[in-house]
Chain A
Amino acid sequence: MKTLRNKLGTIVGCAALIAATGCEQGDAPTVTRSAPTEAASSTDALDITPTTSFAEVNQLRPDFVDEVMSLQPVRGRDRNFRFSQPSFAQAAAMPVIFHRLVDLEEPQINRVALAGALRTNRGPWQEIALELLGTETDNAVRVGLMRSLASAQPEVLARAAELGLQDTDARVRDWGAQAAVRLFANYGGEGASETLSLRLVERLKDEDPGVRATSVRALSFTEQPIHVDAMAGLLTDDDPITRLAAVDALVRLDANQAKTLLEAANVAGDPDARVARAAKRL
């Protein structure tokens, strides 16, 4: 973590910055229409690189840094907290996000939300987030990081999927499998090692049904029929969502072969209406 902290710049003065802003969430202003603030908009012109430090951004745009340092996550309709403010999408926010993310005095809820906020940040955050994923000890923060990395570009996506699939936390493995879905579905598996498919096959037996479901979906985009038998094993999974994912995945891979497999497993007679319907659509 020491190396990373050096990259991101010192965290000394963080608390002082928060105190200085004095900004709390409260009533909406009554005169302006919602739009990114001037401070946020003008920072797009900054040339943010992976090595741009918090101190550099703070020197160039102290007002913007004050703003991003002061923001608190918003509780969504699903009860989870997010940094959904548009300022977080600005590239210049990237060093500030990492600055807060590695500050262990930041509340855990904030750190989780900060990790998730990287997903839509326009800065070059991906390599740093991947490095953090390998060192972060808080499970929930790793979930946030992996969720962001699941939307990364292919050069990072493959490595993120590999790392995520081996995580001890099922939610991270699930997002790791989702990274593999995107890699194979959107980028033809660009940059994927031979072991990635094998890891996905291993995850078909994961203890977590969500991981099994996402892994079978990922395999359906690999265009590797060699894994069909392993995938078909999930047609009789205990979890109905996993069975449904298996039906969809097999059909996507090879509809004709899927029909035979589904008939053999009598999926049309599945006790879950959603699974049975999916089988009957063939």
Chain B
Amino acid sequence: MRSRRWLTICTSLSLVAGGLSACGKDGGGSDDGGADAGTAGETGGDGDGDGDGESWALDNIYGVTNRDDDDANGKPDWMDPPFAGDDDLTPLTFSAAMLNSMGSTDVARLTLNGDLAGIRIWGGGDGAPLLGANSGSPEVSSLDLSLDQMENLSVEFIDYMVSSTLTVERVADDGTTLESTEVTVAGSPLILNHHLQPSERYWVVSVNFGGGSNNASMIMDYQDLFGEAFSSVSGNIYGGDVWIQDEVEFGTQVGSSGERQDVIIDSIRDRGLDNFAEDTADTIFAVDTWGPTGTGNSCDSFGNLEITPPVTVDGVEYPFGRIYYGDGGVGCRVTEELRTFLDAQKVQAPIETDTSWLCVGHVDEFSTFIPDPDSEKGFKFLYADTGEAWALLETMDPDTELPRYLDTHGHGTVGEILTDNELRTRNDGIQANYLDPILAQYKAEFGLTDDDIILIPSLFEQCGGPGYNVALIPGTPNLIVANEDGGTKLIVPDPYVRTDDNDQASDPFIADFVARMPASYGAGDVVFTDDWYVYHANLGEVHCGTNVQRTPDMPKWWEAAAHLVD
């Protein structure tokens, strides 16, 4: 886990979902038995404002799952007893007022109800957990603590979104409940990153396939742009598998005491990069997989798992955006285990769209979000449009030679594309049957207006059976968003709709793309990189071949997304 702030619950939280904290208020050490036990969802206190009872209160506890490996012993930390370097447990700290209220013969009775197998509470000493998972068989759900046992307690979460209620009562030696409070104790959801978040690290797999096919130029562009933040991953180690976007997805959990747990979702695609997640995780990341390994289809790749920036849809705010992924049709769908998991996280309310018309079947092949700080929503949505491509090609000299297209697609000139009636009718069908309806769905599900959308000239060609297509002109929406201190840069596949490879200024598709970008993008902010032979010719583009770790904004999801979780 990242740097952790070991704050007491009382000082770190104020208003929390499910209860109003009374921390900090010194209610004194009343032991008169006059306080009623709280009801579910309430904190303690008798509500009369005189202070008695109000001291006996806790805030809800939200924690990160302890699934990383801080001691590097090859086991997730939740399989080990707590140890000094384990920084993913959430402190269960009682306020001074609570401790002061304890009479000499009183006990604090802790009762945990709910998902006992997914949560456990540790005491200060060695041995088994006090409550919850692994505390006994069956799990211990209630326990009395004396005053001197009320320190150094901590809560550990085994899984995401597990939830229990913790009732803490002050009980007199005659068994009378003097004060009571009940709080929610829950594992935080996994929140996936979106394109408005700052970039921290970049990865590209370096390969040389011979015969003039290598990505040295693209690697060089990344090195020039991002220096030490960029890592070139050896293709030799990973079997020449360049599709690093598809192998891992980064997310973050945030706890109510300031914990941050970065998580790598390791895809079940299990190609050459299968071990990349484990190799990269170090002790910082937790690595999790959903679905049976080795059973993945193309739609289980994470170019098919994208996240919008924060959006509002019909008055409902999604402060962490919404997840979207494609249904690639027969035999190509995100594994049920992952879909179920993502649904259960609730805060990013996933939607599924139709990618059955694509050979690869990924949503990143035809759309993306980019920052636009000057706009009301802070972003623009780039979306492939075939009509825009035909219109732009019509402006070009049909005799313009296209050596890259001749090499890979068989079209030697602009005119050969324009007069390819099979290609034109194919793209008309794609636009009418898929791109237009999907855009309508996105507008509805993401609350987009026409002002939010930038259409990007795109053409597709057949690549497999009759209904399967892939980008003919490199899919420029298939790009990388790099949010650096100096602003945003876009790393875009070079479309090469020109004769001279080395003269990007002569490429009308490049000029057109730049002209469509928001005004905040200045010269040099849009970098067109050569992904042709390694990626484009093998049915992918820059986004497919890059992965980016982003910085979460440490959101208090329990506040900002309470309406989505409840």
A58 proximity list for chain B (CB < 8 A): none
Interface stretch (choices B177-185, B370-378, B384-392, B461-469): B461-469
Report Cα–Cα, A273/B436, bound state, in Å.
13
Interface residues of B in 526-545 (CB under 8 A from A): 530, 532-534, 537-540, 544
CB-defined interface of A59-83 with B at 8 Å, one 1/0 digit per residue? 0000000011011101111110011
Q: Which of B213, B354, B362, B419 has the most A CB atoms < 10 Å from its CB? A: B213
Q: Please choose the segment from A5-13, A46-54, A177-185 that sits at the chain B interface, where 4 or more of its residues have CB less than 8 A away.
A: A177-185
Nearest-CB distance from A50 to chain B (Å)? Answer: 19
Which residues of chain A from 178 to 197 have a CB within 8 Å of any chain B CB?
178, 181-182, 185-186
Check: B216 CB closer than 8 A to any chain A CB: yes
Most buried by A among B303, B407, B420, B534: B407
Contact A37-B211, Cβ < 8 Å, known A89-B406, A185-B425? yes
Q: How far is the CA of A26 from the CA of B233 in the complex (A)?
A: 11
**In the complex, A252 Cα to B426 Cα: how many Å?**
12
Q: How far is the CB of B479 from chain A (nearest CB, A)?
A: 16
Which residues of A have CB within 8 Å of B524?
Answer: none
**A71 engages B211 (CB within 8 Å):** yes
Segment among B139-147, B202-210, B481-489, B504-512 that sits at the interface with chain A: B202-210
Least CB distance from B408 to A in Å reads 6
A34 touches B533 (CB 8 A): yes
Q: Which residues of chain A from 233 to 282 have a CB within 8 Å of any chain B CB?
A: 241, 244-245, 248, 252, 273-274, 277-278, 281
In the bound complex, residues from chain A placing their C-beta under 8 Å from that of B501 are 35
CA distance A67 to B210 in the complex (A): 8
B348 at the interface (CB under 8 A from A): no
A249 to chain B, nearest CB (A): 10
Let me know if A34 and B298 touch, CB within 8 A.
Answer: no
Does B191 belong to the interface (CB within 8 Å)?
Answer: no
Contact B532 A68 (CB under 8 A): no
**CB atoms of B425 and A74 under 8 A apart:** no
User: In the complex, A23→B213 CA distance in Å?
Assistant: 13
Query: Is B217 among interface residues, defined by CB-CB distance under 8 A?
Result: yes
| Cβ proximity bits B270-302 to A, threshold 8 Å, 1 near / 0 not | 010000000000000000000000000010010
- B241: chain A residues at CB < 8 Å are 75
Q: Tell whether A107 is near chain B: CB-to-CB under 8 Å.
A: no
Q: Are B464 and A120 in contact (CB under 8 A)?
A: no
Q: Which residues of A contact B408 (CB under 8 A)?
A: 84, 86, 89, 120
With A71-B210, A77-B243, A77-B544 as contacts: A89 and B407 at CB distance below 8 Å: yes
Q: Mark A82-110, 1 if CB is under 8 A from B, else 0.
A: 11111111000000000000000000000
A contact residues around B406 at 8 Å (CB): 89, 120, 122
The answer, among B246, B271, B433, for a CB contact under 8 Å with A244, is: B433
Would B208 and A25 count as touching, CB distance under 8 A?
Answer: yes
Known A-B contacts A27-B234, A182-B422; the reply to A84 vs B213 at CB < 8 A is yes
Judging by beta carbons under 8 Å apart, are B407 and A34 in contact? no
* B18 interface residue per 8 A CB criterion: no
Separation of A109 and B408 alpha carbons in the complex (Å): 19
- Out of A78, A86, A178, which one reaches B359, CB within 8 Å? A78
Residue of B nearest to A120 (CB): B410
Is B360 an interface residue when CB atoms closer than 8 A count as contact? Answer: yes
Q: Which B residues are closer than 8 A to A by beta carbons?
A: 206-220, 234-236, 240-241, 243, 246, 271, 298, 301, 303, 354, 356, 359-360, 362, 406-410, 419-422, 425, 429, 432-434, 437, 462-467, 470, 501, 530, 532-534, 537-540, 544
Q: List 21 A-B contacts (CB under 8 A).
A: A26-B236, A27-B236, A29-B216, A33-B530, A68-B211, A71-B211, A72-B209, A77-B243, A77-B301, A78-B359, A79-B298, A84-B537, A85-B211, A87-B211, A89-B407, A89-B408, A120-B406, A185-B421, A241-B467, A252-B425, A277-B437
Residues of A within 8 A of B (CB): 23, 25-37, 40, 67-68, 70-72, 74-79, 82-89, 119-120, 122, 151, 171, 174, 177-178, 181-182, 185-186, 210, 213-214, 217, 221, 241, 244-245, 248, 252, 273-274, 277-278, 281
